[in-house]
Chains A and B, each alone.
Chain A
């Protein structure tokens, strides 16, 4: 499996809670202006493809593409389509591929959405956040609930699947406010809804306001209650959870995002974007060339072996753009992923999704025999469901409680595997 993520680091204004890599200026220098942005990303695609081939990676045709931000729809629809066409030209795109863009409800109209559909997009994810005006205003969002409705209807008309994102736990949001938001989202008739607990980073405007006592601190208990409300209401409406913060009608899950949680290969393009490859030849050397703080060992391996690699693009668009203009991969750093780290990642990701954890695969990868009694204890504590076949427990899946106490669950499995 191979996926492509394109980051678009531009917004009309910055929301108080947002700590993503995004900028409100039109031109950031280094060739990274809004107008030139698609061109730069396409140049990065070619550099990435060359890098892949030089490291023994010949990816199959792309199965999903995701444009995220920032606000991808701040760019003309033609730019998004141009980038998609470049992906098709460079790597090829699978028939039936999922092509998504995030959208701010107030930056798209029916015409824009029509252009995306014509250009090959299949899915649009709206940042709805809330249906309650005072909550939207706390979140610094400029759209209205009506914008969202219009967007979803336009997507329906254009034949695009749509999803909406919600945020719970904003300062001042009551349980009833939250019920209103979830119900409103359900009533839009979308087949996919994401609901995220508000995570406040200390460096954001909202983080500073909370530190200064201007806004109350989000409360974990309140967020837990809201998670349970969301899970109840969405399940009743026929949208089942398939990841901690994601619900969908069967067949409408985000395949792109599932790819992250299933640990597939992906190329991340754009400032601050992450890439992940499972089998890189001479990854260690590559990693060291970029960031020699990662590992003291610089020796060339006599027999090329493959290693997992994660790399991240330079966050600031100007420096990112200058590197591309020099014909270099605009990476800020990278890390090789050791066998244990890979195991840790697979474990923590699997515990987030309804696929759950394949016990046999885990045993094979870790060389550790999982203690069945420990699994039963976790089941008794209400953290997991055990799925059995003729071999015994073959798979475990987090319960609602296990999803909320996911860190605890991960910690238990780390202990079980002596990680």
Chain B
């Protein structure tokens, strides 16, 4: 372990460099970050764990970083010890909001690009955001050790984007460590030192907070002005609460308590608060004794773009689901939720997410970290619906869609930027067209890659757009999107009826042209998934009172065991006992027993292949009745 001279609370701002790393998923950010920790000497070789910064299992498995972490790293340059604050940032489009929080805590950003792949659409949008925050950008090409690396080509691409010379783009390998020391030197040279006022009242920005089951809420802060001391009462300016700090400290690379944190430093505070609402990201912390008068500029609250219902399979787990959401909300301001009741699924929450990945991650964290067994309804966006009588409804759930005649429906639009190799331009155009996209401009960012701009309804993107884009471009295209107003559209609500009873969980708001395929596929899926019962079960799809698709589950005629002698008796009894347990997982819809698995499978997207002949015929027939 190296001896550090710069101690928290007494490090001159001129020796501090705070930076983040902007990179796309899989471009090697965590490997480079690990290498930085190792070179700095704060992580002994034997303790070096792959991807030290990504603490959550999900992140490790998916190779993406969801939650930022902030590590204090010593680095000696030209005989002087500097203190680097490395703030990790998420790489996915859904977490733009978290990126912007991390950016606000730094003066510089390392733009890390995979030299085998080149820059991706989401990286580009984060790069522009960093430039908007006036951060110093240090361009870096990673993975130069790979045989397929094309550093010259991509250096040119990056130089064109940020306005530097291609030879100014650093080249590193996180895997071998090559060039990483040069990168740290470059950070010391280029990234400006913080410029807060160390001698005034303390102000610190909360840029993240996480819930730790042993320690309670851990709040990450960036000191801007003044100093906070460990025994000092803290005041949260936004929510107006005062806390006794249990501990303040820095992460280097584990949580290390310190006596103080001074201007420009990045660290953490533990107040012992267990309640989520007591630590709001974006709030300003000051000293309770000598409070600052003005808070720091906070963050804009993110707006959820995608909604879905989350229901515990076992309704008794509803309170646990509420607690789990409360805890996630703590460091995920973007997650919103309100209780919801479904006839089919019982009690749950309607949740708002920034995007599909955000939704998936929340689902996975709920199941993995909180052990919850959940059903998620199909995702939808929000609509503003005007009925013929002039009344207006903001619809976040298909069940809120008004019955009766509709005058106008307004749906949210996004501006989508897609970067793709030029040979897939045609494929991307087809896909966007199928999803009601309007093409804007298209630019070549290098000789063989283009950036295409589309305006597309968000609803079209939330289903399977991203997967389709990836599969049609052999994985090469990347997508970024941001809100871009709204438009009126010819949308309808399709209901699914089982034995004449509407099943709210399956209702969907879709474009009229797609209503038939949704209806046909959903009814077919359910026919496969619902076990036969002693009566016939019609399954219908309807727009209002008009049936657009119908399937029948024939009545069950036989379930008897043919032979029941000696040993069959005990086997049969055990089988019946098992069935009895299975029945507890059945939902009764009217007289129809529907297994939970049917809901889960019917609501899962992805394998909706409309390619078999029967499906195509039925969709065509449904469209014909429309005339």
Q: Give every chain B residue within 8 A of A257 (Cβ-Cβ).
A: 565
B191-206 contacts to A (CB < 8 Å):
none
Q: Is A32 an interface residue (CB 8 A)?
A: no
Q: Is B566 an interface residue (CB 8 A)?
A: yes
Q: Give every chain A residue within 8 A of B534 (Cβ-Cβ).
A: 381, 405, 408
Binds B, one of A42-50, A185-193, A266-274: A266-274
Q: A196-B562, A245-B562, A381-B534 are in contact. Are A221 and B567 (CB under 8 A)?
A: no
Q: Give every chain B residue within 8 A of A335 (Cβ-Cβ).
A: 570
Structural contact, A404 and B557, CB atoms closer than 8 A: yes
Residues 551-583 of B, flagged 1 when their CB comes within 8 A of A and 0 if not, give 000101111111111110110110011011001
Give the complex CA separation of A350 and B434 in angstroms: 61
Give the complex CA separation of A408 and B583 in angstroms: 12
Q: A408-B534, A411-B576, A414-B580 are in contact. Are A349 and B560 (CB under 8 A)?
A: no
- B520 CB, min distance to chain A CBs, angstroms: 24
A250-278 contacts to B (CB < 8 Å):
257, 260-261, 266, 268, 272-274, 276
What is the chain A residue whose CB lies nearest that of B554? A221
Q: Give every chain A residue within 8 A of B580 (Cβ-Cβ).
A: 411, 414, 419
- B580 CB, min distance to chain A CBs, angstroms: 6
Q: Give every chain B residue within 8 A of A344 (Cβ-Cβ).
A: 573, 576-577
Q: Is A229 an interface residue (CB 8 A)?
A: no
Give the complex CA separation of A272 and B565 in angstroms: 13
Structural contact, A407 and B570, CB atoms closer than 8 A: no
Q: A273-B566, A274-B566 are in contact. Are A404 and B576 (CB under 8 A)?
A: no
- A249 CB, min distance to chain B CBs, angstroms: 22
Q: Is A178 an interface residue (CB 8 A)?
A: no
What is the chain A residue whose CB lies nearest that of B563? A196
Give the complex CA separation of A367 and B47 in angstroms: 66
A322-349 contacts to B (CB < 8 Å):
335, 341, 344-345, 348-349
Q: Is A5 an interface residue (CB 8 A)?
A: yes
Give the complex CA separation of A406 and B559 in angstroms: 6
Q: Is A224 an interface residue (CB 8 A)?
A: yes
- Residue from the list A221, A224, A349 in contact with B569, Cβ < 8 A: A349
- Residue from the list A197, A341, A405, A411 in contact with B579, Cβ < 8 A: A411
Q: A405-B558, A408-B534, A414-B580 are in contact. Are A352 and B564 (CB under 8 A)?
A: yes
Residues 271-296 of A, flagged 1 when their CB comes within 8 A of B and 0 if not, give 01110100000000000000000000
Q: Is A173 an interface residue (CB 8 A)?
A: no
Q: Is A236 an interface residue (CB 8 A)?
A: no
What is the chain B residue whose CB lies nearest that of A243? B564
Structural contact, A341 and B560, CB atoms closer than 8 A: no
Structural contact, B560 and A260, CB atoms closer than 8 A: no
Q: Is A396 an interface residue (CB 8 A)?
A: no
Q: Give every chain A residue within 8 A of B576 (Cβ-Cβ).
A: 344, 348, 407, 410-411, 414
Structural contact, B567 and A312, CB atoms closer than 8 A: yes
Q: Give every chain B residue within 8 A of A310 (Cβ-Cβ).
A: 569-570
Structural contact, B558 and A404, CB atoms closer than 8 A: yes
Structural contact, B561 and A260, CB atoms closer than 8 A: no
Q: Give every chain B residue within 8 A of A152 (Cβ-Cβ).
A: none
- A290 CB, min distance to chain B CBs, angstroms: 15
Q: Give every chain B residue within 8 A of A419 (Cβ-Cβ).
A: 580
Q: Is A89 an interface residue (CB 8 A)?
A: no
Q: Give every chain A residue within 8 A of B558 (Cβ-Cβ).
A: 197, 220-221, 223-224, 227, 404-405
- B572 CB, min distance to chain A CBs, angstroms: 6
Q: Is A403 an interface residue (CB 8 A)?
A: yes
Structural contact, B561 and A406, CB atoms closer than 8 A: yes
Give the complex CA separation of A268 and B567 in angstroms: 10
Give the complex CA separation of A88 and B579 in angstroms: 42
Q: Give every chain B residue within 8 A of A197 (Cβ-Cβ).
A: 558, 560, 562
Give the complex CA separation of A198 and B569 in angstroms: 18
Structural contact, A245 and B565, CB atoms closer than 8 A: no
Give the complex CA separation of A268 and B563 in angstroms: 17
Q: Give every chain B residue within 8 A of A183 (Cβ-Cβ).
A: none
Q: Give every chain A residue within 8 A of B573 (Cβ-Cβ).
A: 341, 344-345, 348
- Residue from the list B562, B566, B570 in contact with A199, Cβ < 8 A: B562
- Residue from the list B554, B560, B563, B577 in contact with A404, Cβ < 8 A: B560
- A259 CB, min distance to chain B CBs, angstroms: 10
Residues 33-73 of A, flagged 1 when their CB comes within 8 A of B and 0 if not, give 00000000000000000000000000000000000000000
Give the complex CA separation of A162 and B561 in angstroms: 24
Give the complex CA separation of A267 and B599 in angstroms: 47
Give the complex CA separation of A273 and B569 in angstroms: 12
What is the chain A residue whose CB lies nearest that of B570? A310
What is the chain B residue whose CB lies nearest that of A21? B567
Residues 19-33 of A, flagged 1 when their CB comes within 8 A of B and 0 if not, give 000000000000000
Structural contact, B560 and A407, CB atoms closer than 8 A: yes
Q: A245-B562, A381-B534, A405-B534 are in contact. Are A274 and B570 (CB under 8 A)?
A: yes
- B570 CB, min distance to chain A CBs, angstroms: 5
Residues 88-101 of A, flagged 1 when their CB comes within 8 A of B and 0 if not, give 00000000000000
What is the chain B residue whose CB lies nearest that of A341? B573
Residues 530-542 of B, flagged 1 when their CB comes within 8 A of A and 0 if not, give 0000100000000
A375-410 contacts to B (CB < 8 Å):
381, 403-408, 410
Give the complex CA separation of A23 and B215 in angstroms: 65
Give the complex CA separation of A268 and B569 in angstroms: 14
Structural contact, A345 and B560, CB atoms closer than 8 A: no
A165-196 contacts to B (CB < 8 Å):
196
- B405 CB, min distance to chain A CBs, angstroms: 43
Q: Give every chain B residue within 8 A of A414 (Cβ-Cβ).
A: 576, 580
Q: A220-B557, A406-B559 are in contact. Are A349 and B564 (CB under 8 A)?
A: yes
Structural contact, B566 and A260, CB atoms closer than 8 A: yes
Q: Give every chain B residue within 8 A of A199 (Cβ-Cβ).
A: 561-563
- Most chain B CB neighbours (cut-off 10 Å) among A268, A273, A344: A344
- A121 CB, min distance to chain B CBs, angstroms: 19
Give the complex CA separation of A221 and B579 in angstroms: 21
- B414 CB, min distance to chain A CBs, angstroms: 46
- Residue from the list B562, B566, B569 in contact with A345, Cβ < 8 A: B569
A210-257 contacts to B (CB < 8 Å):
220-221, 223-224, 227, 244-245, 257
- B403 CB, min distance to chain A CBs, angstroms: 35
Give the complex CA separation of A349 and B573 in angstroms: 10
- A276 CB, min distance to chain B CBs, angstroms: 8
Q: List 26 A-B contacts (CB under 8 A).
A: A199-B561, A199-B562, A220-B559, A221-B557, A221-B558, A244-B562, A244-B564, A260-B565, A261-B564, A266-B566, A273-B566, A274-B567, A276-B566, A276-B569, A335-B570, A348-B576, A349-B564, A352-B560, A352-B564, A403-B560, A404-B558, A404-B560, A406-B560, A406-B561, A407-B559, A411-B579
Sorted from nearest, which 7 A-B pairs have the closest CB atoms? Answer: A224-B557, A406-B560, A274-B566, A224-B558, A407-B559, A274-B567, A197-B562
A-B contacts besides A197-B558, A260-B564, 17 pairs, CB < 8 Å: A5-B566, A196-B562, A196-B563, A197-B562, A198-B562, A199-B561, A221-B558, A224-B558, A273-B567, A341-B573, A344-B576, A345-B570, A348-B576, A381-B534, A404-B557, A405-B557, A408-B559
